[in-house]
A = this chain, B = another copy of it.
Amino acid sequence: MIYGHGDDIYSQNQQIVYNFSSNVYEHEDDNWLYNLLEKNLSVLHSYPEPDATSLVQLLAHRNNISEEEICATHGATDAIYLIAQTFSHSNTAIFAPTFSEYEDACRINRHRITIIKELEDVNRKNFEMVWLCNPNNPTGLTFDYNILVELIDNNPETLFIIDQTYHYFTNKPTLSYVDAVKRENVVLIDSFTKRFALPDLRLGYFVTNKKLKNKIQYYKQPWAVSQLAIEVGKYILQSMTCNLDLASLLGETKDFQERLSNIKGIEVQGTDTHFFLCKTQKGTAEELKKYLVEHHGILIRNASNFEGLTANYFRICTQKKEANMKLIDGITDYMNSFKA
């Protein structure tokens, strides 16, 4: 494992009041969660279901696929590591900049890694495996659905690992679970982490055809998902209406981006979702991050350790209006500090 991910609240000495550093969606009312956990705390005293069968069955049913086409994992990260282990020593492409765990998991499992920055490279070279994040982290951009499907179908010998954990937060079309299972060469990664703001439950899964599922699952540990997480996942699927107001979230993002663009010295990049990259023209992202923690109790994600990004890049994730305005104020203060 490597260091340098976002959401590093634990390593800050100051209290963090506003956290823009993680792509987790924090707008949920969570009384339902506390009530549910209170009722289910006794499950901590027994072993969980070895392969989260009851949750997998429900997920399959809700998504019109078979339970033999879904495998629950200890967060999306566990899926990434299992896939990299199953296909160790592969000739592998990773579309960058992106989430660093794909490269880390592939390096550990001795893949020959090529970093690509254009999808077209997949047609030109004979990769055994390609990793894509869609919408992509940290850029927030999606791949065009038709171009992506054509690429997959034109390269039947290449296995496409597509991490769609952020698909809830875009209105651009992404691959459906049915799109994945009806093909020979697609594994979709998804999770409850981002959509329901529950990263500590470590509740992810992958979706693929039965043959590939069995091949990857061979490497899986039993009891990878806790029963507490299984119960929360089932409750979400059974009881919650999908109350994410995406139009409002994307509207606020657009407004937030405009306000940020108006700060002299900040360059804001386009996005298809609720998080995006910015560049500071004064100092570095690390200096800005440190300033915001110390002076405003605000945490942003220094994005300079993403492949191909310079020291000026940072990533932020739209929060509630009040918090967003605090970040605007904080960055404005930072820029003004250079004039003093």
Q: List chain A positions with a Cβ less than 8 A from chain B.
A: 1-3, 5, 7, 9-10, 19, 22, 24, 26, 30, 33-34, 37-38, 41, 43-51, 54, 74-75, 77-78, 81, 85, 101, 108, 197-202, 217-224, 226-228
Residues of B within 8 A of A202 (CB): 223, 226
List the B residue with the shortest CB-CB distance to A7: B47
Separation in Å of the A40 CB from the closest CB of chain B?
10
Which of B34, B43, B222 interacts with A101 by CB under 8 Å? B222
The quantity of this chain's copies bound in the complex is 2
Kindly state the separation between the CA atoms of A228 and B40 in the bound complex, as whole angstroms: 14
Residues of B within 8 A of A78 (CB): 221
List the B residue with the shortest CB-CB distance to A53: B10
Which of B1, B38, B50 interacts with A50 by CB under 8 Å? B1
Separation in Å of the A228 CB from the closest CB of chain B?
6
A75 in contact with B5 given A45-B26, A45-B197 (CB within 8 Å): no
> Judging by beta carbons under 8 Å apart, are A41 and B45 in contact?
no
> Judging by beta carbons under 8 Å apart, are A43 and B74 in contact?
no
Residues of B within 8 A of A108 (CB): 218-219
Separation in Å of the A183 CB from the closest CB of chain B?
26
Residues of B within 8 A of A34 (CB): 38, 41
Kindly state the separation between the CA atoms of A170 and B327 in the bound complex, as whole angstroms: 57
For the A-B complex with A1-B50, A22-B46, A44-B198 known, give 16 more contacts whose Cβ atoms are closer than 8 Å.
A1-B217, A1-B220, A3-B50, A7-B47, A10-B49, A22-B47, A24-B47, A26-B45, A43-B200, A45-B199, A48-B200, A74-B224, A101-B222, A108-B218, A200-B228, A202-B226
Which of B2, B101, B221 interacts with A74 by CB under 8 Å? B221
Residues of B within 8 A of A228 (CB): 200
Separation in Å of the A37 CB from the closest CB of chain B?
6
- The residue in A24, A30, A200 that gathers the most chain B C-beta atoms within 10 A of its C-beta is A200
